[in-house]
Structure formats: C-alpha cells, structure tokens
Amino acid sequence: MYIFTGKNVHLIIVSFIVYIFVNMFENMIHYNIGRMNANVKADFKLPSGPDFLVIFIVMIIFAGIQGYLTYFFNSLK
C-alpha cells in the first residue's frame, strides 16, 4: 500500500491542480474584499509581489494536504 503508485499519484496531482486553480480565484476575491474594507469603490487589484508569494505558499501547503486527503479518503472504499 504505497501512496506513490500510478493511480494514486494521478489522483493526488489532479486534486492538487484543481485546488490551486479554484482556490486562486477565491483568494483573489478575499484579498480584494479585505483590501477594500468598507470602501464603496470596487476596483479589483492583484496583490503585491510579497503578498502574492505568501498567498501562493499557503495555497501550495493546503493543496498538498488536499491531495493527500483526497487519496486517503478515496482509498477507504
């Protein structure tokens, strides 16, 4: 029961990529909501370099956790 066999790696990678893709949009929306606070003028901006790097690093960590948990719960069948 190794994690890194063909089918398992595919499941982990697909889950990882989907999480990154979907969560990037969500994080940009949350970033702009926090940045605008109570400001009525809604202008969408990307985070600065350091802010984007922190967001991306946190996403990578949680995407890895998401990939592993998807594999784990799928293997309980």
Q: How far is CA 10 from CA 6, 7, 21, 37, 63, in A?
A: 6, 5, 16, 40, 14
Give me the residue label for tokens 């948990």: 69
> How far apart (Å, rounded) are the C-alpha atoms in residues 27 and 47?
10
Written as tens digits, the pLDDT of the chain (77 aa) is: 455 667 778 888 888 889 898 999 898 888 888 877 777 677 788 888 998 999 999 999 999 998 888 888 887 86
